[in-house]
Structure 1
């Protein structure tokens, strides 16, 4: 479930989500745009930030084992 793609792609998804979340606070968009940004960030993280971080740790453990 967590290890379908590379670590680089995983980090790019995380960076994109962080940029969307920061965009909510910096640009102060409308409520609908804020909701869209947050939903896109959740989609990129494939859940909560803790789940994304757990997936990153899992990938690093598997790569280290290879």
Structure 2
């Protein structure tokens, strides 16, 4: 599951999710837009941030091997 993408694509997904989270805190959106942004964050991270980070570590270990 974790080996389909490269590490750089994994990091790009994380940066995009972080930018969406920051936009949620910095700008005033209606409720529907906030929920849509939150759904996009979950989609980009493929779950929670801890799952994204564990996937990153797994990919880094596989690239070294």
The TM-score range, normalised by the shorter chain, is over 0.9
Tell me, which stretches of 5 or more residues in structure 1 are unaligned? none
Deviations for 1:11-34, whole angstroms, at most 9, x for unmatched residues?
000000000011001012111100
Aligned length: 65
Report the counterpart of residue 62 of structure 1 in structure 2. Answer: 62
What is the deviation of 1:44?
0.3
The whole-number CA distance in structure 2 between the counterparts of 1:32 and 1:50 is: 25
Alignment of 1:1-66 (within 5 A): 1-65=1-65
TM-score (norm 2): 0.97
State the Cα RMSD in Å.
0.5
What is the deviation of 1:3?
1.1
